[in-house]
Structure 1
Amino acid sequence: MEKKELDLVLVPIGLVIMVSYHVWLFYRIKRHPKTTVLGINAINRVAWVKAMMSDPENGILAVQTLRNSIMAATLLSTMAVMLSSLIVVLMTSNSVGLSSGGNSEYGGGIVYGNSSKLLLSIKFFAILLCALTAFLLFAQSVRYSNHTGVLINVPFKNQAPTITPEYVGRIMNKGSDFWSLGWRAYYFSFPLFLWIFGPIPMFLCCVVMVFLLYFLDISNHPVLTRAEAQNAENERSA
Protein backbone atom coordinates (compact mmCIF):
# COMPACT_ATOMS: atom_id res chain seq x y z
CA MET A 1 0.00 0.00 0.00
CA GLU A 2 1.37 3.41 -0.98
CA LYS A 3 1.67 5.97 1.76
CA LYS A 4 -0.84 8.28 0.03
CA GLU A 5 -3.47 5.56 0.32
CA LEU A 6 -3.20 5.48 4.11
CA ASP A 7 -5.42 8.55 4.36
CA LEU A 8 -8.16 6.71 2.48
CA VAL A 9 -8.03 3.81 4.94
CA LEU A 10 -6.97 4.98 8.41
CA VAL A 11 -8.79 8.32 8.49
CA PRO A 12 -12.28 6.90 7.71
CA ILE A 13 -11.72 4.04 10.15
CA GLY A 14 -10.70 6.47 12.89
CA LEU A 15 -13.73 8.67 12.29
CA VAL A 16 -16.03 5.63 12.26
CA ILE A 17 -14.60 4.54 15.62
CA MET A 18 -15.26 7.98 17.13
CA VAL A 19 -18.76 8.30 15.68
CA SER A 20 -19.71 4.71 16.58
CA TYR A 21 -18.66 5.24 20.18
CA HIS A 22 -20.79 8.37 20.51
CA VAL A 23 -23.78 6.66 18.87
CA TRP A 24 -23.43 3.84 21.40
CA LEU A 25 -23.06 6.39 24.24
CA PHE A 26 -26.20 8.21 23.11
CA TYR A 27 -28.12 4.93 23.11
CA ARG A 28 -26.86 4.07 26.59
CA ILE A 29 -27.78 7.51 27.95
CA LYS A 30 -31.31 7.11 26.61
CA ARG A 31 -31.80 3.48 27.69
CA HIS A 32 -29.63 3.22 30.81
CA PRO A 33 -28.96 6.77 32.03
CA LYS A 34 -28.00 5.66 35.55
CA THR A 35 -24.95 3.83 34.19
CA THR A 36 -23.48 6.94 32.53
CA VAL A 37 -21.96 10.05 34.06
CA LEU A 38 -24.03 12.30 31.80
CA GLY A 39 -27.25 10.53 32.78
CA ILE A 40 -26.47 10.65 36.49
CA ASN A 41 -25.60 14.34 36.30
CA ALA A 42 -28.86 15.06 34.49
CA ILE A 43 -30.84 13.33 37.25
CA ASN A 44 -28.94 15.20 39.95
CA ARG A 45 -29.46 18.55 38.23
CA VAL A 46 -33.23 18.08 38.33
CA ALA A 47 -32.97 17.25 42.05
CA TRP A 48 -30.80 20.35 42.57
CA VAL A 49 -33.36 22.55 40.82
CA LYS A 50 -36.12 21.16 43.05
CA ALA A 51 -34.04 21.93 46.15
CA MET A 52 -33.29 25.47 44.97
CA MET A 53 -36.92 26.23 44.08
CA SER A 54 -38.28 24.79 47.32
CA ASP A 55 -36.70 27.56 49.40
CA PRO A 56 -36.66 31.21 48.21
CA GLU A 57 -33.49 31.84 50.24
CA ASN A 58 -31.58 29.58 47.82
CA GLY A 59 -32.03 32.09 44.98
CA ILE A 60 -28.61 33.70 45.43
CA LEU A 61 -26.89 30.31 45.57
CA ALA A 62 -28.67 29.19 42.41
CA VAL A 63 -27.75 32.34 40.49
CA GLN A 64 -24.10 32.15 41.59
CA THR A 65 -23.88 28.52 40.51
CA LEU A 66 -25.39 29.28 37.11
CA ARG A 67 -23.12 32.29 36.75
CA ASN A 68 -20.09 30.03 37.12
CA SER A 69 -21.42 27.81 34.34
CA ILE A 70 -22.04 30.83 32.11
CA MET A 71 -18.52 32.16 32.71
CA ALA A 72 -16.97 28.77 31.89
CA ALA A 73 -19.05 28.42 28.70
CA THR A 74 -18.13 31.99 27.69
CA LEU A 75 -14.43 31.24 28.16
CA LEU A 76 -14.63 28.07 26.08
CA SER A 77 -16.58 29.80 23.31
CA THR A 78 -13.96 32.57 23.26
CA MET A 79 -11.24 29.95 22.92
CA ALA A 80 -13.13 28.44 19.99
CA VAL A 81 -13.28 31.83 18.24
CA MET A 82 -9.56 32.41 18.83
CA LEU A 83 -8.78 28.96 17.47
CA SER A 84 -10.94 29.62 14.41
CA SER A 85 -9.13 32.89 13.75
CA LEU A 86 -5.75 31.18 14.06
CA ILE A 87 -6.77 28.46 11.63
CA VAL A 88 -8.02 31.00 9.11
CA VAL A 89 -4.68 32.81 9.32
CA LEU A 90 -2.82 29.56 8.72
CA MET A 91 -5.05 28.64 5.77
CA THR A 92 -4.45 31.99 4.08
CA SER A 93 -0.76 32.21 4.95
CA ASN A 94 1.95 31.54 2.42
CA SER A 95 3.90 29.80 5.18
CA VAL A 96 1.85 26.64 4.65
CA GLY A 97 1.73 27.11 0.92
CA LEU A 98 -2.05 27.12 0.53
CA SER A 99 -2.32 30.42 -1.28
CA SER A 100 0.62 29.86 -3.60
CA GLY A 101 -1.08 27.17 -5.69
CA GLY A 102 0.62 24.19 -7.20
CA ASN A 103 0.61 20.55 -6.31
CA SER A 104 3.94 20.33 -4.54
CA GLU A 105 4.12 18.43 -1.30
CA TYR A 106 4.70 19.84 2.16
CA GLY A 107 6.57 18.32 5.04
CA GLY A 108 8.99 16.31 2.92
CA GLY A 109 9.40 12.85 4.41
CA ILE A 110 8.07 13.82 7.84
CA VAL A 111 4.40 13.36 7.03
CA TYR A 112 3.74 9.71 6.22
CA GLY A 113 0.65 9.90 4.06
CA ASN A 114 -0.88 12.13 1.45
CA SER A 115 0.99 15.44 1.78
CA SER A 116 -0.62 17.43 -1.00
CA LYS A 117 -1.59 21.04 -0.35
CA LEU A 118 -5.19 20.29 -1.24
CA LEU A 119 -5.46 17.72 1.54
CA LEU A 120 -3.75 20.12 3.94
CA SER A 121 -6.46 22.69 3.26
CA ILE A 122 -9.09 20.01 3.93
CA LYS A 123 -7.43 19.22 7.26
CA PHE A 124 -7.44 22.85 8.34
CA PHE A 125 -11.04 23.27 7.20
CA ALA A 126 -12.11 20.23 9.26
CA ILE A 127 -10.45 21.68 12.38
CA LEU A 128 -12.07 25.06 11.65
CA LEU A 129 -15.47 23.38 11.36
CA CYS A 130 -15.02 21.73 14.78
CA ALA A 131 -14.01 25.05 16.36
CA LEU A 132 -16.99 26.91 14.91
CA THR A 133 -19.33 24.12 15.98
CA ALA A 134 -17.92 24.29 19.51
CA PHE A 135 -18.52 28.05 19.57
CA LEU A 136 -22.16 27.67 18.54
CA LEU A 137 -22.77 24.90 21.08
CA PHE A 138 -21.24 26.82 23.97
CA ALA A 139 -23.24 29.91 22.96
CA GLN A 140 -26.42 27.83 23.17
CA SER A 141 -25.29 26.58 26.58
CA VAL A 142 -25.03 30.19 27.78
CA ARG A 143 -28.50 30.89 26.39
CA TYR A 144 -30.16 28.05 28.28
CA SER A 145 -28.24 28.85 31.46
CA ASN A 146 -29.59 32.41 31.29
CA HIS A 147 -33.13 31.07 30.91
CA THR A 148 -32.59 28.79 33.90
CA GLY A 149 -31.36 31.69 36.02
CA VAL A 150 -34.63 33.52 35.45
CA LEU A 151 -37.00 30.58 35.82
CA ILE A 152 -35.38 29.10 38.91
CA ASN A 153 -36.19 32.26 40.91
CA VAL A 154 -39.91 32.31 40.12
CA PRO A 155 -41.73 31.91 43.47
CA PHE A 156 -43.92 28.86 43.87
CA LYS A 157 -47.01 30.95 44.61
CA ASN A 158 -46.59 32.90 41.35
CA GLN A 159 -45.69 29.96 39.15
CA ALA A 160 -47.51 29.37 35.92
CA PRO A 161 -48.72 25.77 35.38
CA THR A 162 -45.78 25.07 33.06
CA ILE A 163 -43.05 26.49 35.34
CA THR A 164 -42.38 23.48 37.53
CA PRO A 165 -39.07 22.20 38.91
CA GLU A 166 -39.18 19.44 36.30
CA TYR A 167 -39.58 21.98 33.49
CA VAL A 168 -36.76 24.19 34.81
CA GLY A 169 -34.63 21.07 35.24
CA ARG A 170 -35.18 20.17 31.58
CA ILE A 171 -34.12 23.66 30.53
CA MET A 172 -30.99 23.38 32.65
CA ASN A 173 -30.23 19.93 31.23
CA LYS A 174 -30.52 21.31 27.70
CA GLY A 175 -27.85 23.87 28.53
CA SER A 176 -25.69 21.12 29.99
CA ASP A 177 -26.25 18.98 26.89
CA PHE A 178 -24.97 21.80 24.68
CA TRP A 179 -22.01 22.15 27.05
CA SER A 180 -21.18 18.46 26.65
CA LEU A 181 -21.59 18.61 22.87
CA GLY A 182 -19.24 21.60 22.76
CA TRP A 183 -16.59 19.55 24.53
CA ARG A 184 -17.21 16.70 22.08
CA ALA A 185 -16.49 19.11 19.24
CA TYR A 186 -13.17 19.91 20.93
CA TYR A 187 -12.48 16.20 21.33
CA PHE A 188 -13.08 15.61 17.62
CA SER A 189 -10.64 18.40 16.78
CA PHE A 190 -7.73 16.59 18.49
CA PRO A 191 -7.50 13.71 15.98
CA LEU A 192 -8.06 16.15 13.13
CA PHE A 193 -5.17 18.25 14.39
CA LEU A 194 -2.90 15.22 14.52
CA TRP A 195 -4.03 14.39 10.99
CA ILE A 196 -1.78 17.28 9.89
CA PHE A 197 1.14 15.05 10.84
CA GLY A 198 -0.26 12.04 8.99
CA PRO A 199 -3.07 9.47 9.16
CA ILE A 200 -1.24 7.17 11.58
CA PRO A 201 -1.16 9.68 14.50
CA MET A 202 -4.77 10.56 13.73
CA PHE A 203 -5.90 6.93 13.85
CA LEU A 204 -3.99 6.22 17.06
CA CYS A 205 -5.48 9.34 18.65
CA CYS A 206 -9.01 8.15 17.81
CA VAL A 207 -8.38 4.77 19.42
CA VAL A 208 -6.78 6.23 22.56
CA MET A 209 -9.46 8.92 22.89
CA VAL A 210 -12.32 6.43 22.69
CA PHE A 211 -10.59 4.32 25.33
CA LEU A 212 -10.22 7.33 27.65
CA LEU A 213 -13.71 8.67 27.00
CA TYR A 214 -15.20 5.31 27.95
CA PHE A 215 -13.79 5.61 31.47
CA LEU A 216 -14.93 9.25 31.68
CA ASP A 217 -18.48 8.61 30.43
CA ILE A 218 -19.41 5.29 32.03
CA SER A 219 -20.18 4.96 35.73
CA ASN A 220 -19.45 1.66 37.47
CA HIS A 221 -21.65 2.68 40.42
CA PRO A 222 -25.20 3.24 39.13
CA VAL A 223 -27.46 5.61 41.01
CA LEU A 224 -30.26 3.89 42.93
CA THR A 225 -33.57 5.37 43.92
CA ARG A 226 -34.61 5.27 47.57
CA ALA A 227 -36.84 2.26 46.92
CA GLU A 228 -34.07 0.42 45.07
CA ALA A 229 -31.56 1.25 47.79
CA GLN A 230 -33.96 0.04 50.48
CA ASN A 231 -34.57 -3.21 48.61
CA ALA A 232 -30.84 -3.77 48.22
CA GLU A 233 -30.31 -3.10 51.92
CA ASN A 234 -33.06 -5.55 52.82
CA GLU A 235 -31.52 -8.22 50.60
CA ARG A 236 -28.12 -7.74 52.24
CA SER A 237 -29.60 -7.89 55.74
CA ALA A 238 -31.62 -10.99 54.87
Structure 2
Amino acid sequence: MGWTWKEEHLDLILVPSGLSIMCTYHLFLLYRYLRHPQLTAIGYENNNKNGWVRKMLLIEPKERGLALSVLSGQLSASTSLSSISLVLCSLIGAVLSNSSGNFFTDRFILGDTSQSTSSIKYIMIISCFLLAFVCFVQTTRHFVHAGFLISMPAGDVPVECIQKAVIRGSNFWAAGLGALYFATTLLLWIFGPIPMFIGAVALVMILHFLDINKEPMIGYGSKSGNGVLKKIQQDVNSVVGGFEHNGRK
Protein backbone atom coordinates (compact mmCIF):
# COMPACT_ATOMS: atom_id res chain seq x y z
CA MET A 1 0.00 0.00 0.00
CA GLY A 2 1.24 3.47 -0.89
CA TRP A 3 1.68 6.26 1.59
CA THR A 4 -1.31 8.65 1.78
CA TRP A 5 -1.31 12.20 3.04
CA LYS A 6 -3.47 12.98 6.06
CA GLU A 7 -4.22 16.17 7.95
CA GLU A 8 -2.56 14.71 11.04
CA HIS A 9 0.79 14.87 9.26
CA LEU A 10 0.71 18.68 9.49
CA ASP A 11 1.27 18.42 13.25
CA LEU A 12 4.26 16.15 12.71
CA ILE A 13 5.89 18.68 10.36
CA LEU A 14 4.86 22.18 11.42
CA VAL A 15 4.82 21.82 15.21
CA PRO A 16 8.41 20.46 15.55
CA SER A 17 9.54 23.07 13.01
CA GLY A 18 7.96 25.91 14.99
CA LEU A 19 9.41 24.66 18.29
CA SER A 20 12.83 24.25 16.67
CA ILE A 21 12.74 27.84 15.45
CA MET A 22 11.84 29.09 18.94
CA CYS A 23 14.49 26.96 20.68
CA THR A 24 17.20 27.88 18.16
CA TYR A 25 16.51 31.58 18.57
CA HIS A 26 16.62 31.44 22.38
CA LEU A 27 19.83 29.39 22.34
CA PHE A 28 21.35 31.94 19.96
CA LEU A 29 20.20 34.76 22.27
CA LEU A 30 21.75 32.98 25.27
CA TYR A 31 25.04 32.57 23.38
CA ARG A 32 25.15 36.26 22.47
CA TYR A 33 24.30 37.25 26.04
CA LEU A 34 27.11 35.11 27.48
CA ARG A 35 29.76 36.01 24.88
CA HIS A 36 28.71 39.48 23.66
CA PRO A 37 26.30 40.99 26.23
CA GLN A 38 26.68 44.46 24.73
CA LEU A 39 24.82 43.25 21.63
CA THR A 40 21.69 42.22 23.55
CA ALA A 41 19.03 44.28 25.26
CA ILE A 42 19.37 42.07 28.37
CA GLY A 43 23.08 42.85 28.66
CA TYR A 44 22.46 46.55 28.12
CA GLU A 45 19.78 46.62 30.82
CA ASN A 46 21.94 44.65 33.26
CA ASN A 47 24.78 47.12 32.73
CA ASN A 48 22.40 49.96 33.59
CA LYS A 49 21.21 48.11 36.69
CA ASN A 50 24.78 47.61 37.86
CA GLY A 51 25.35 51.34 37.51
CA TRP A 52 22.07 52.05 39.29
CA VAL A 53 23.14 49.95 42.28
CA ARG A 54 26.48 51.77 42.51
CA LYS A 55 24.79 55.17 42.38
CA MET A 56 22.13 54.21 44.94
CA LEU A 57 24.80 53.13 47.41
CA LEU A 58 26.25 56.65 47.31
CA ILE A 59 23.07 57.85 49.03
CA GLU A 60 22.67 57.64 52.79
CA PRO A 61 20.76 54.49 53.87
CA LYS A 62 17.94 56.51 55.43
CA GLU A 63 17.39 58.29 52.10
CA ARG A 64 17.22 55.18 49.89
CA GLY A 65 13.45 55.13 49.73
CA LEU A 66 13.58 55.71 45.97
CA ALA A 67 15.70 52.58 45.47
CA LEU A 68 13.30 50.52 47.56
CA SER A 69 10.37 51.92 45.56
CA VAL A 70 12.01 50.80 42.30
CA LEU A 71 12.54 47.30 43.68
CA SER A 72 8.98 47.28 45.01
CA GLY A 73 7.65 48.01 41.53
CA GLN A 74 9.62 45.11 40.10
CA LEU A 75 8.35 42.88 42.91
CA SER A 76 4.76 43.82 42.13
CA ALA A 77 5.23 42.99 38.44
CA SER A 78 6.85 39.61 39.12
CA THR A 79 4.22 38.72 41.73
CA SER A 80 1.41 39.57 39.33
CA LEU A 81 2.86 37.51 36.49
CA SER A 82 3.53 34.54 38.77
CA SER A 83 -0.07 34.66 39.97
CA ILE A 84 -1.38 34.88 36.41
CA SER A 85 0.79 31.92 35.34
CA LEU A 86 -0.49 29.80 38.23
CA VAL A 87 -4.13 30.71 37.54
CA LEU A 88 -3.74 29.83 33.85
CA CYS A 89 -2.23 26.46 34.84
CA SER A 90 -5.28 25.78 36.98
CA LEU A 91 -7.70 26.78 34.21
CA ILE A 92 -5.95 24.69 31.58
CA GLY A 93 -5.81 21.75 33.98
CA ALA A 94 -9.57 22.05 34.52
CA VAL A 95 -10.14 22.15 30.75
CA LEU A 96 -7.93 19.09 30.31
CA SER A 97 -9.73 17.09 33.00
CA ASN A 98 -13.17 17.92 31.56
CA SER A 99 -12.25 17.77 27.87
CA SER A 100 -14.45 15.77 25.56
CA GLY A 101 -15.55 16.11 21.97
CA ASN A 102 -15.44 19.70 20.76
CA PHE A 103 -17.43 20.81 17.74
CA PHE A 104 -15.01 23.63 16.92
CA THR A 105 -11.98 21.36 17.19
CA ASP A 106 -13.51 18.58 15.15
CA ARG A 107 -14.87 20.69 12.29
CA PHE A 108 -12.75 23.80 11.79
CA ILE A 109 -9.15 22.88 12.67
CA LEU A 110 -6.83 21.60 9.96
CA GLY A 111 -4.65 19.06 11.74
CA ASP A 112 -4.71 16.27 14.28
CA THR A 113 -7.83 16.54 16.48
CA SER A 114 -7.42 13.30 18.40
CA GLN A 115 -7.77 13.18 22.17
CA SER A 116 -4.15 12.17 22.69
CA THR A 117 -2.82 15.12 20.68
CA SER A 118 -5.10 17.52 22.56
CA SER A 119 -3.75 16.16 25.85
CA ILE A 120 -0.16 16.71 24.66
CA LYS A 121 -1.03 20.31 23.73
CA TYR A 122 -2.45 21.13 27.15
CA ILE A 123 0.35 19.36 29.04
CA MET A 124 3.02 21.32 27.14
CA ILE A 125 1.17 24.60 27.75
CA ILE A 126 0.85 23.83 31.47
CA SER A 127 4.57 22.99 31.61
CA CYS A 128 5.49 26.38 30.11
CA PHE A 129 3.24 28.26 32.51
CA LEU A 130 4.66 26.30 35.47
CA LEU A 131 8.19 27.15 34.33
CA ALA A 132 7.20 30.82 34.07
CA PHE A 133 5.70 30.65 37.57
CA VAL A 134 8.93 29.23 39.01
CA CYS A 135 11.05 31.88 37.25
CA PHE A 136 8.89 34.75 38.50
CA VAL A 137 8.97 33.35 42.04
CA GLN A 138 12.77 33.31 41.86
CA THR A 139 12.67 36.87 40.53
CA THR A 140 10.67 37.91 43.58
CA ARG A 141 13.08 36.09 45.87
CA HIS A 142 16.18 37.83 44.52
CA PHE A 143 14.65 41.31 44.46
CA VAL A 144 13.44 40.89 48.05
CA HIS A 145 17.00 39.93 48.98
CA ALA A 146 18.34 42.97 47.11
CA GLY A 147 15.91 45.18 49.06
CA PHE A 148 17.27 43.88 52.35
CA LEU A 149 20.87 44.43 51.27
CA ILE A 150 20.41 47.91 49.83
CA SER A 151 18.78 49.13 53.06
CA MET A 152 21.82 48.14 55.13
CA PRO A 153 24.15 50.85 56.49
CA ALA A 154 26.74 52.19 54.09
CA GLY A 155 29.87 50.05 53.73
CA ASP A 156 28.46 46.95 55.45
CA VAL A 157 27.50 45.13 52.23
CA PRO A 158 29.81 44.90 49.18
CA VAL A 159 28.44 46.43 46.01
CA GLU A 160 28.96 43.14 44.16
CA CYS A 161 26.54 41.28 46.46
CA ILE A 162 23.69 43.69 45.71
CA GLN A 163 24.53 43.73 42.01
CA LYS A 164 24.48 39.93 41.91
CA ALA A 165 21.04 39.81 43.54
CA VAL A 166 19.61 42.40 41.14
CA ILE A 167 21.13 40.77 38.05
CA ARG A 168 19.93 37.31 39.04
CA GLY A 169 16.44 38.65 39.55
CA SER A 170 16.58 40.29 36.13
CA ASN A 171 17.80 37.09 34.48
CA PHE A 172 15.00 35.03 36.04
CA TRP A 173 12.58 37.73 34.85
CA ALA A 174 13.86 37.31 31.28
CA ALA A 175 13.60 33.51 31.58
CA GLY A 176 10.01 33.80 32.80
CA LEU A 177 9.10 36.00 29.86
CA GLY A 178 10.70 33.46 27.52
CA ALA A 179 8.53 30.72 29.02
CA LEU A 180 5.45 32.89 28.46
CA TYR A 181 6.49 33.37 24.82
CA PHE A 182 6.66 29.59 24.39
CA ALA A 183 3.28 29.22 26.08
CA THR A 184 1.77 31.82 23.74
CA THR A 185 3.02 29.89 20.72
CA LEU A 186 1.66 26.62 22.10
CA LEU A 187 -1.72 28.24 22.77
CA LEU A 188 -1.96 28.88 19.04
CA TRP A 189 -1.49 25.14 18.52
CA ILE A 190 -4.98 24.66 19.97
CA PHE A 191 -6.27 26.25 16.75
CA GLY A 192 -4.11 24.03 14.58
CA PRO A 193 -0.48 23.55 13.54
CA ILE A 194 -0.60 26.23 10.85
CA PRO A 195 -1.40 29.13 13.27
CA MET A 196 1.21 27.72 15.65
CA PHE A 197 3.96 27.71 13.01
CA ILE A 198 3.05 31.18 11.72
CA GLY A 199 2.93 32.49 15.30
CA ALA A 200 6.37 31.02 16.07
CA VAL A 201 7.96 32.65 13.02
CA ALA A 202 6.29 36.00 13.69
CA LEU A 203 7.24 35.92 17.38
CA VAL A 204 10.90 35.17 16.62
CA MET A 205 11.03 38.09 14.19
CA ILE A 206 9.52 40.44 16.77
CA LEU A 207 11.78 39.19 19.56
CA HIS A 208 14.87 39.57 17.40
CA PHE A 209 13.96 43.22 16.83
CA LEU A 210 13.35 43.77 20.58
CA ASP A 211 16.34 41.80 21.93
CA ILE A 212 19.04 43.33 19.76
CA ASN A 213 20.99 46.30 21.10
CA LYS A 214 22.84 48.86 19.01
CA GLU A 215 23.46 51.45 21.72
CA PRO A 216 26.95 51.69 23.29
CA MET A 217 27.28 50.59 26.89
CA ILE A 218 27.11 53.45 29.39
CA GLY A 219 30.26 53.63 31.52
CA TYR A 220 28.92 54.49 34.95
CA GLY A 221 31.59 55.87 37.23
CA SER A 222 34.17 56.02 34.43
CA LYS A 223 37.18 58.29 34.48
CA SER A 224 35.68 60.50 31.80
CA GLY A 225 32.66 61.12 33.97
CA ASN A 226 34.84 61.94 36.96
CA GLY A 227 36.85 64.31 34.81
CA VAL A 228 33.72 66.19 33.79
CA LEU A 229 32.64 66.51 37.42
CA LYS A 230 36.05 67.78 38.43
CA LYS A 231 36.01 70.35 35.64
CA ILE A 232 32.57 71.58 36.73
CA GLN A 233 33.78 71.83 40.32
CA GLN A 234 36.85 73.79 39.23
CA ASP A 235 34.68 76.19 37.22
CA VAL A 236 32.37 76.72 40.20
CA ASN A 237 35.34 77.33 42.50
CA SER A 238 36.83 79.83 40.08
CA VAL A 239 33.54 81.74 39.85
CA VAL A 240 33.14 81.77 43.62
CA GLY A 241 36.76 82.89 44.02
CA GLY A 242 36.17 85.73 41.57
CA PHE A 243 33.16 86.98 43.53
CA GLU A 244 35.11 86.85 46.77
CA HIS A 245 38.00 88.75 45.20
CA ASN A 246 35.70 91.47 43.89
CA GLY A 247 33.99 91.70 47.27
CA ARG A 248 37.27 92.32 49.02
CA LYS A 249 38.03 95.18 46.67
Q: TM-score, normalised by structure 2?
A: 0.82
1:48 Cα deviation after fit = 0.4
- 3-state secondary structure, aligned to 2:136: helix
Whether contact under 8 Å (1:53, 1:153) holds in the other structure is no
**CA positional deviation for 1:58:** 4.2
CA contact (8 A) 2:53 2:159 kept: yes
Give, in angstroms, the shift of residue 106 of structure 1.
Answer: 7.0
State the one-letter code of the partner of 2:48. N
Q: Which residues in structure 2 correspond to 1:108-127 (within 5 Å)?
A: 108-127=106-125
User: Which residues of structure 2 form unaligned runs of 5+?
Assistant: 226-249
Confirm whether residue 130 of structure 1 aligns to residue 142 of structure 2.
Answer: no
Q: How many residues align?
A: 218
Kindly state the Cα deviation for residue 214 of structure 1 after the two structures are TM-superposed.
0.4
Contact 2:64 2:151 in 1 (8 A): yes
Provide Cα deviations, 1:153-178, integer angstroms capped at 9, x if missing partner: 22234x1xxx3212211110101111
**Runs of 5+ unmatched residues, structure 1:** 99-103, 230-238
Tell me how far apart the structure 2 counterparts of residues 228 and 217 of structure 1 sit (CA, whole Å): 29
Residue in structure 2 matched with residue 62 of structure 1 by the alignment: 67
CA 9–105 in structure 1, closer or farther in 2 if over 3 Å, else same:
farther
Task: State the alpha-carbon separation in 2 of the partners of residues 69 and 21 from structure 1.
Answer: 26
Question: In the alignment, is residue 97 of structure 1 matched against residue 100 of structure 2?
Answer: yes
- d(CA) in 2 for partners of 1:128 and 1:5? 24
Residue 179 of structure 1 aligns to a residue whose secondary structure is: helix
Partner of 1:199: 193
- How far apart in 2 are the matches of 1:31 and 1:50? 24
Mapped contact 2:71–2:147 kept (Cα < 8 A): yes
- The answer as to whether partners of 2:48 and 2:218 remain within 8 angstroms in 1 is no
Residue deviations 1:180-237 (CA, integer Å, cap 9, x gap): 11111111011111111111110111100000000110012232545899xxxxxxxx
Structure whose CA Rg is larger: 2
* Counterparts in 2 of 1:13 and 1:227: CA distance versus 1, 3 Å: farther
Deviates more, 1:215-224 or 1:134-143: 215-224
Secondary structure at the counterpart of residue 95 of structure 2? helix
What's the CA shift for 1:110?
1.1
Deviating runs (4+, > 3 A) in structure 1?
Answer: 224-229
**Counterparts of 1:8-157 in structure 2 under 5 Å?**
8-56=12-60, 57-93=62-98, 96-97=99-100, 107-157=105-155
Identity of aligned residues (%): 37
**1:169 aligns to what?**
163
Matched AA of 1:91? L
Distance 1:53 1:97 in 2: 58
Rounded Cα–Cα distance in structure 2 between residues aligned with 1:69 and 1:123: 32
- Contact 2:142–2:166 (8 Å) recurs in 1: yes
Equivalent residues of 1:105, 1:116 under 8 A apart: no
Task: Tell me the distance in 2 between the aligned counterparts of 1:208 and 1:199.
Answer: 14
TM-score normalized by structure 1? 0.86
Q: d(CA) in 2 for partners of 1:10 and 1:77?
A: 30
Question: What secondary structure does 2:106 align onto?
Answer: coil
Contact 1:123-1:195 within 8 A present in 2 as well: yes
